[in-house]
Amino acid sequence: MKSFSSSSFAGESSDALELARAAVSRDPQALFTDFQWFLYEGRDTVFFTAFSKTAYDKEGLGNLVAEMVSLAPQLTHGFVGARPGEPFPKQMLDAITSVEMVDEFDGYPDRWLGKSSDIFAHDDLPLFRVMAAVRKGGPDAQGRASIIQVRSSHALMEGSDSALLTRSSSAGHGTMSDRQNKLPLAARLKSAFRGGMMAFIYIVLANLLAPPDKPWGFKTLAIKRHRLRLLANKLGVRQRSLMFALVTHALNGEGEEKLMSKKVIGAAYTMLDTTRNNADDDFFRVRALEAKFTVIEDFVDYVRAVDDTVAQIEQKDITKFQVMINSMFKAVRAANRFAKFLPGTRFWRFNGGMHIVLTLVPPHRTYGPMTAGMVEPIYCGAWHSAANICTFCPGREYVTLNFSMETRHIANVEKIERLLEEVEARDVVPHKMMPSVEGL
């Protein structure tokens, strides 16, 4: 994964803010890019949650939100009555924050996780919520006085924003595409054509074949980073390949009873890439890649095959799939402008045969006033109506695995640690060794 910093993001000038306010007065989502619009219309949401040594009250939570908004001004966009770049009035802060008292933290953060549909229930409120649960008897034996959760429309926040805020750094977005790095015209036309065709095919197939709403589950898991590092070195694979393999192998199941596929697991995974081009989205920095992992029963053989697949994908042009997806978003939005009933409610439940999305967010390391008192593990994840998602959130000591998926897969999450223990105990024939600096 390439590095990122707050300096990658430009601030908003006063002229830009005035134009923004005029635009959103006519259309609350006027400032959204096609990618943002797509995630907003799909009601995609993200969450961040962590325990804290601080016992939050409403005033403290309001101050936290005010600091968040100053560092991530995009949180002031996208709702009726929005004033981009301006602080929220107290009554608005009160409406989007909540504090509850609890006896213990048993079951947290999982008991809090959900689709976060309440974010969209009031179109005149910001598209995020901040909540805290405070222990009645004071800090527990681990020094945890409260747990805090931030939930947002995915249209406003991505993993790099969450990581930057965790470090008390600016997460404001400038123009994220690079107009100077122009893709060849032929490549852009080809991607636009493929994206348009994909949009058309998906709209048709989704309205014919999309399944009904399925029972959905949420679960988290925290694993020591050092443990994963040691095993990745032992197997001679990238740490991210090990994590991808642990999740997909365990969730797919054993023997003949495969929940995803008996032959090939279709996955999309995400990463950051600082090499931008003029076809990139102007808001999001994330880069999506498409992978197919051949199912192999023996885990050691499987993880090495996954690692080979990841290497082959990343040695090629990693912009191609994302550019095509961006073209699809643009085509779907254009169809919606032409006919408001398109793409239709069933569209958002159609995944085109993709079994799982594997999202690796940048390291979340607490630093500065924004996260003073917060302790690891740190949990960060996402929900989308058509995607089984596992979000990997690395911290200093832990990597958390955050699952949002059909409930039939949730029971297999517990197999991940068992699989990890089994492989750690095995004598493994040495394989190629990846450089230790490769990290996640």
278 confidence band (pLDDT: 50, 70, 90) = low
Name the more confident of 320 and 364. 364
Neighbouring-strand partners of residue 216: 406
Residue 11 pLDDT greater than 50, yes or no:
no
For the segment 397-411, the average pLDDT, to the nearest whole number, is 96
Rounded distance, CA 276 to CA 283, Å? Answer: 12
Rounded distance, CA 329 to CA 312, Å? Answer: 27
pLDDT of residue 437: 36
From the list 362, 246, 232, 234, the residue with the least C-alpha distance to 293 is: 246
156 confidence band (pLDDT: 50, 70, 90) = very high
Say if 6-166 and 185-438 have the same CATH topology.
yes
- Choosing among 3.40.50.150, 1.10.760.10, 3.10.580.10, 3.30.559.30, the CATH entry for 185-438 is 3.30.559.30
Provide the residue type at 215 as one letter. P
Rounded distance, CA 302 to CA 265, Å? Answer: 12
- Choosing among 3.30.1380, 3.40.50, 3.30.559, 2.70.70, the CATH entry for 6-166 is 3.30.559
Residue 291 pLDDT greater than 70, yes or no:
yes
Q: How far is CA 121 from CA 7, 51, 89, 128, 319, in A?
A: 35, 27, 20, 11, 36
Cβ neighbours of residue 128 closer than 8 Å, sequence gap 6 or more? 75, 96, 119, 150, 151, 152, 153, 156, 157
Name the more confident of 15 and 101. 101
172 confidence band (pLDDT: 50, 70, 90) = confident
Cβ atoms < 10 Å from Cβ of 330: 20
Rounded distance, CA 319 to CA 314, Å? Answer: 10
- What is the residue extent of each domain of the chain? 6-166, 185-438
Rounded distance, CA 413 to CA 127, Å? Answer: 30
